[in-house]
Every structure is written in structure tokens, then in C-alpha cells.
Structure 1
Amino acid sequence: MIISITQPALNWFKREMALEKGDSLRFFVRVGGCSTVQDGFSLGMTVETPTEPALSTEEDGITFFVEEKDIWFFEELDFTVKYSRKKDEIVFQHGDQ
């Protein structure tokens, strides 16, 4: 199981969330919304320091991570964060999507 951030997504995070080297961004599970992985749940994002990271990657000095308590959501699937130019937003791709 891996997490990856595309370059367009990284640029979006830097621009829209003012992330820079040394920052950390957590992906967390929220109740509600829609997801192709778990019915009734979706992903949220927040800038915070990891405490028990189960999955992480670093891009341009920025750490992107999922805490241990949220790892169940991914069901051992690879997780890619992309930027949709059409929607002008971040999209999450899991597994074979």
C-alpha cells in the first residue's frame, strides 16, 4: 500500500493551502460524503503534525500522511492524489481506478 501525490496536485496544495517545505498534510476519514472505497465515508484534509502515521510520502519537503486510526479506509489499496483541471480540485484515486 502506497500513497502518491502527482506534481499537479502538489502544485495545487502549495497554491491553495499555502503548503511549503516542513509542513505536513493529513488525509482523514469523514462520515458522510461519497467514496469509491467505503460507502458512507469520504476523505478530508488538514494541516497537522503526524502522531501515528501508518502511510506517508514526502514531496518537495512536504509530508502527506494517513494516521493509523484511518488506515482501515484504504483496504490495502494504493492511494493517488491527483488534480483535476476540469473541476479545479483535488481528486483521490484508489487501487485500479
Structure 2
Amino acid sequence: MKITITAAANQWFHEDMGVTPGNGVRFYGKTYGKTAVHSGFSIGLARDDEPHQPIASTVVDGVNYYVNDRDEWFFKGYDLTVDYDEANDGPKYDYVPNNED
């Protein structure tokens, strides 16, 4: 799994969530909601500076964006691209199929 954070999304995280270098943002699967690839589940995010066995991570401007192993079920078979959605003034997510089992 690969995580991509666009410049616009990174700016949103810095401005709206107040993240600074050394901070972390964890993405995870949660019950209820819907995504382009899941019915009954949606993506969540939390400010979390201490990853627990991450399966994927990327550092942008000193901020660690990651997914822990316990959320592998939600992201299995997909790469995650996080962009900024101007209409909703928040992140939007694109799930890109990959060749992982």
C-alpha cells in the first residue's frame, strides 16, 4: 500500500488540524458510511503522533501520514491518495487499485 498526500491536502492538515513537523496523522477504517470501494464503512483520520506497526506511511513536510496494521482490512488492495476538496473544505480520498493480495 502506498499513501500519497497532495500539497493542497498537506496544507489543509497544517492549517485546519494544526499539525507541525514531528506530528502524525493516522487513517483508519470505521463502521458506517460509504466510500467508493466500501459499503457500510468509511475512512476516518486522527491526529496520532505514535504509529503502532504501520503498514504504510509517508512523510510530508515533517508530518507522518500513516495506516496501522489493524486497519489493513480496510485498505487491502488499494493505494490511498488524499487531496483537498474545496467544496467541502476538507480531505477527499481516492482509492487506487494495486496488485497486492
Could you list the per-position Cα deviations for residues 35-89 of structure 1 after superposition, in whole angstroms to 9, with x for gaps in the alignment?
1122110011111110110111000000000000101112221110000112211
Matched residue, 1:42: 42
Matched residue, 1:54: 55
Task: State the SS of the aligned residue for 1:70.
Answer: helix
Q: State, as a whole percentage, how many aligned pairs show the same letter.
A: 34
Q: CA–CA distance in 2 between the matches of 1:73 and 1:87?
A: 23
Could you list the per-position Cα deviations for residues 10-57 of structure 1 after superposition, in whole angstroms to 9, with x for gaps in the alignment?
000000000000001100111001111221100111111101101110
Q: CA–CA distance in 2 between the matches of 1:47 and 1:30?
A: 15
Give the alignment's TM-score, normalised by structure 2: 0.89
Q: List runs of 5+ in structure 2 lacking aligned partners.
A: none
Task: State the SS of the aligned residue for 2:33.
Answer: coil
Alignment RMSD (CA, Å): 1.1
Q: CA–CA distance in 2 between the matches of 1:51 and 1:73?
A: 16
Q: What is the number of residues matched between the two proteins?
A: 96
Q: List runs of 5+ in structure 1 lacking aligned partners.
A: none
Task: State the SS of the aligned residue for 1:36.
Answer: coil
Q: CA–CA distance in 2 between the matches of 1:75 and 1:32?
A: 18
Q: CA–CA distance in 1 between the matches of 2:29 and 2:76?
A: 13
Report the residue type matching 1:30 in the other structure: K
Q: CA–CA distance in 1 between the matches of 2:72 and 2:38?
A: 12
Q: CA–CA distance in 2 between the matches of 1:66 and 1:75?
A: 11
Q: CA–CA distance in 2 between the matches of 1:92 and 1:60?
A: 20
Q: CA–CA distance in 2 between the matches of 1:92 and 1:26?
A: 14
CA contact (8 A) 1:37 1:74 kept: no
Q: CA–CA distance in 2 between the matches of 1:58 and 1:76?
A: 21
